[in-house]
Structure 1
């Protein structure tokens, strides 16, 4: 079982100032009261103490009069106390936390006994362990070539609903509206739903490493290959030798490694610079011009590849549709020609002549022949297009290698020019160039006499093929589809209990678009098109309750906590600031939300804790019996005690 929240504690800036807000695990906890009493700060404090990278607590009295925050986390037989200092004035977010393992039931320690020494990354790991997250798992990040290590921070996507999220038509999960978060949520959902197989995750990681090893190995082989074009450093040294008059500026120097090495050895044997006209051209200008030409060729190659792939896709689409039509028309073969009535066809069932079908059948047969001809032409074109794509991709890879060599040559020539420009004497310049050539040739000689690099390309490719075969069965995809199907049934059931629009249609959680969709006879209806705010609120609550039922019943590593901030806001006017009586219909709709929460809590029997911050204060037992804190301005009750605030600042 994962953790729930026992209490939130704040420490004031004066000695001895401590205020603890307790909560009841495994049940509904409602904190109601006027605005600006610190209700919404509870969610941000919990977020901050769970190793947030920023400081989410909004400005106001909480920021002004609190020096440290803490939360007490509990699960059967265990208790963890987590504290974090508030940022000091004009300083960054605190990067260290205090984490203490306590005996269950222990109160928060005094501030002066806390030692803030645990780095945030370490604290995140400890909290992930306490949550039950397997830190050896890696899942692919959607849209990026990286892997994600799921942590407690990712689990909170499904535990928080801030005030601007609880009824948002465009956002279903916590912090979904922030940059890069949607792809992260898509990446971790399979793990938290239990669809990620640990062995499969390890195999994916091995496949990624094997592909990287193959790429590195092929690059090293290209460098070690004597028949390959000369390295950029060798080409740059050749250019320097020509600039220093150690070699003639012949335009047809050999480009192979062997040819360049021969010329460099020749330059090393020269005794000083040879008389001759100075070069008027700038080698850097030539190199950069050549780089521009290479980039243009590479760009044109990419365009050709894109065009060829588009043509291939069109051929594939046409072939699929044409094959379907051919299969339908092929049934004409069942009609047999009647030899005694040439204008008639015979029914395949009773063998009686069908005279009226002749003209139609003839036309359709002609169409079938044309269609078969088109399919034959397309079938002939497709391999040719695939060969052209392969050829163009090979050309593009060669251009990329040439660009890399060109950049290396530019770097070498630029560095050498800076050194040689400081030498006014031609003889000294030539000597410096010969020294650089000597060092390079010595290194090349050592490589030549050393053992040749073993070609492991086939071995690596075989390993990659084996891993791809093991991963060919989309176990995760099948499991995810199955699990979502079961969760979708619960979402629809709750939507019907809440009498939400479109709840009579199949409802599904779309993990690609991160929204809820109703599949109606008119087409799919996403959350943003599902009517008013009470529908958006209802589907948020129905989805999150259904997910937490799944998490709890399958012991998945998501905190057994759901925090909802101001669900009643859709029923209050925009300028609402204090107590206000809800209309009868709105009151019924809001109570239905709390009754749905109660049904889930009863079903999970202590495995889920729900904390709700509210403006509303309803007299119905479904609400009033679960109010744990009531912060009214007239009573002086708030998160930050009135005694902490100077009279002149209140």
Structure 2
């Protein structure tokens, strides 16, 4: 079992404590006027559950409160968690006080608080207290390393701020923050129970193997591109020939053969005259580069043409399949079984002599379409194979261009160095020195680790893991669980009398919204009219998810905090508008009856805390009110005697 909240506490600089108690397994309502500290209760819970930000708002809290704390309980265990306000100009406090207490113990005195637990450690302790399995690894956003789920991820389903509880575009807490929607999508399967811990380990191992295979293939491709002699080696061989150290080689130049020629060049004594080297090697390389660029352009053009042909084939097959379906018409115009059989209308069974001709034309068109689709369908794999071959050719040309550029760079550098060296022997010695430096560097490269082709071995392990995991096993479980939750959402939509209540309603874990499948097509939450519908579907969805969390013993904390759900019925700052009348009052009371029904059905395993502006005399609202913070009774979260200076808001 995971935890609920039994109290929220604040400490002032004198060490005085203000504690707001809550009943576990019950509906708790804090009602009051605006700017009395109601919304701060949600922020205090968020801050004390290891938020990376200082989320506390309001001048009274920021100026006159030094420590924020929550008391968490589960079964017979109690955990007190306190966090100080940031000191000085710090953005947030990075240490916390986490203390295990006897069940029912009051908050410790300020002098007893020891803020020595680092934020990350505190988050781990809270996650373990929620029974979150930290051995599970979930693929992370913007990172190759998967991350374990934590209490911070569970809060997506436990908190609804004032700007979230009836927001048509945001269904979950923090969904509007950058990058967090992807994290919510990743965490939903785990908290719904669709991620088996053992299978999660296998999936993580499979992911690592696939990454290793991709890296190995990239390394092997790089090694293949270096199998031919590098441009620098070829250029040095050309310089050695020009300097009279080598005879022009006649065979193909591999990397090993080029190194043999260069070793031979430094072993030769400097010549007294330079042999005729024939044409200018730089000009030959420039001409070779021009030819490579032309081949490169032609290869790219061929790839573009082939891709266009493949696309046209696919478009034709789609249109032909649609036309074929229209012509087939369920074989209504079948040919007559015998020559003397009269053709009859397949609808009214009347004698229609012209039907034989119509059937013949349709069947002939169908046959022609079948033949065309067969021919085009068989061409598509061949075109894809040609595209792959052209891409390999393009890569070879690019490698050749790279080697050509190296040769040009080395030759021109050598020619610049040799300028002014009229003495043949001095120029040959200079070339030998450059070759010696290259061989020394190449020797170190050869001694480096060689790439071992383990693709077959890794591929076998991947196939084994894929078979063990099963294709789409997690997705199948997730879809099954979401389907069960959808039934609960629809039932609550009917109880709340929401728009589209008669249509199938479904939670969309990818879009992070609720969708109604109407006769006219899907309608997303943002397209459902009215704040009452947005609020209703928020509450219906989160209540249904918490019912599922409880049934599945999920490690999501067993509380839901709603900040001012009645805002859709009247403005928050309307003076003395604490009582509603007519349909609005009926709708709001129905909302609380639905919440109370869920709390009672879960029999102590679920707690709801609501901060409200409204104040209803009807049940279950009246008996669930834990405090009334109003200007008329001088009650607020921060006691008036703590405020020792003028502030703009409280």
Kept after mapping to 1: 8 A contact 2:34/2:572: no
Aligned pair partner of 1:625 in 623, 626, 636 = 623
Aligned pair partner of 2:636 in 634, 638, 648 = 638
Deviation per residue, 1:420-439 (Å, 9 max, x gap): 9xxxxx99998995675343
Deviation per residue, 1:42-97 (Å, 9 max, x gap): 11111111111222222422112222222111100211122222222322322222
Structure 1 pair 643–460 and aligned structure 2 pair: CA distance change class (3 A): same
Range moving further from structure 2, 210-219 or 77-86: 210-219
Alpha-carbon distance between aligned partners in 2 of 1:455 and 1:462, rounded to the nearest angstrom: 13
What is the number of residues matched between the two proteins?
624
Q: Which has the larger radius of gyration?
A: 2
List aligned pairs for 1:16-55, cutoff 5 A.
Answer: 16-55=15-54
Deviation at residue 212 of structure 1 after TM alignment = 2.0
Alpha-carbon distance between aligned partners in 1 of 2:366 and 2:336, rounded to the nearest angstrom: 16
Structure 1 pair 224–37 and aligned structure 2 pair: CA distance change class (3 A): same
What residue number does 1:587 align with? 585
Q: Secondary structure of the residue that 1:519 maps to in structure 2?
A: strand
Deviation per residue, 1:198-257 (Å, 9 max, x gap): 333222212211112223333444566697245xxx656877999999979x99998743
Is the aligned partner of 1:104 residue 2:113?
A: no
Kept after mapping to 2: 8 A contact 1:48/1:55: yes
Is the aligned partner of 1:485 residue 2:486?
A: no
Kept after mapping to 2: 8 A contact 1:163/1:566: yes
Alpha-carbon distance between aligned partners in 1 of 2:631 and 2:137, rounded to the nearest angstrom: 49
Structure 1 pair 360–220 and aligned structure 2 pair: CA distance change class (3 A): closer
Alpha-carbon distance between aligned partners in 2 of 1:559 and 1:534, rounded to the nearest angstrom: 27
Range moving further from structure 2, 84-93 or 127-136: 84-93
Deviation at residue 175 of structure 1 after TM alignment = 1.1
Cα RMSD for the two superposed structures: 4.4
Alpha-carbon distance between aligned partners in 2 of 1:274 and 1:536, rounded to the nearest angstrom: 94
Kept after mapping to 2: 8 A contact 1:35/1:577: no
Is the aligned partner of 1:439 residue 2:440?
A: yes
What residue number does 2:574 align with? 576
What residue number does 1:10 align with? 10
List aligned pairs for 1:608-619, cutoff 5 A.
Answer: 608-619=606-617
List aligned pairs for 1:469-484, cutoff 5 A.
Answer: 469-484=467-482
List aligned pairs for 1:266-281, cutoff 5 A.
Answer: none
List aligned pairs for 1:174-193, cutoff 5 A.
Answer: 174-193=173-192
Kept after mapping to 2: 8 A contact 1:245/1:430: no
Kept after mapping to 1: 8 A contact 2:299/2:394: yes
TM-score of the two chains, using structure 2 as the length reference: 0.82
What residue number does 1:90 align with? 89
Alpha-carbon distance between aligned partners in 2 of 1:494 and 1:600, rounded to the nearest angstrom: 10
Is the aligned partner of 1:367 residue 2:361?
A: no
Alpha-carbon distance between aligned partners in 2 of 1:567 and 1:274, rounded to the nearest angstrom: 98
Alpha-carbon distance between aligned partners in 2 of 1:166 and 1:273, rounded to the nearest angstrom: 89
What residue number does 2:378 align with? 380
Deviation at residue 635 of structure 1 after TM alignment = 2.7
Q: Secondary structure of the residue that 1:612 maps to in structure 2?
A: strand
Kept after mapping to 2: 8 A contact 1:45/1:69: yes
What residue number does 2:55 align with? 56
Deviation at residue 587 of structure 1 after TM alignment = 1.5
Structure 1 pair 49–402 and aligned structure 2 pair: CA distance change class (3 A): farther
Aligned pair partner of 1:521 in 497, 519, 526 = 519
Kept after mapping to 1: 8 A contact 2:630/2:636: yes
What residue number does 2:424 align with? none
Alpha-carbon distance between aligned partners in 2 of 1:397 and 1:469, rounded to the nearest angstrom: 35
Structure 1 pair 89–305 and aligned structure 2 pair: CA distance change class (3 A): farther
Deviation at residue 2 of structure 1 after TM alignment = 0.8
Deviation at residue 465 of structure 1 after TM alignment = 2.3
Deviation at residue 274 of structure 1 after TM alignment = 12
Range moving further from structure 2, 614-623 or 541-550: 614-623
Kept after mapping to 2: 8 A contact 1:330/1:368: no
What residue number does 2:66 align with? 67
What residue number does 1:120 align with? 119
Alpha-carbon distance between aligned partners in 1 of 2:100 and 2:501, rounded to the nearest angstrom: 46
Range moving further from structure 2, 539-548 or 290-299: 290-299
Structure 1 pair 65–314 and aligned structure 2 pair: CA distance change class (3 A): farther
Deviation per residue, 1:458-508 (Å, 9 max, x gap): 121222223233344322222222212221111111111111111111111
Structure 1 pair 324–201 and aligned structure 2 pair: CA distance change class (3 A): farther
Alpha-carbon distance between aligned partners in 2 of 1:244 and 1:119, rounded to the nearest angstrom: 66
What residue number does 2:277 align with? none
Alpha-carbon distance between aligned partners in 2 of 1:433 and 1:44, rounded to the nearest angstrom: 70
Please, which runs of 5 or more residues in structure 2 have no aligned partner?
275-279, 418-426
Kept after mapping to 1: 8 A contact 2:266/2:432: no
Please, which runs of 5 or more residues in structure 1 have no aligned partner?
421-425
Alpha-carbon distance between aligned partners in 2 of 1:539 and 1:98, rounded to the nearest angstrom: 37
Alpha-carbon distance between aligned partners in 2 of 1:96 and 1:296, rounded to the nearest angstrom: 61
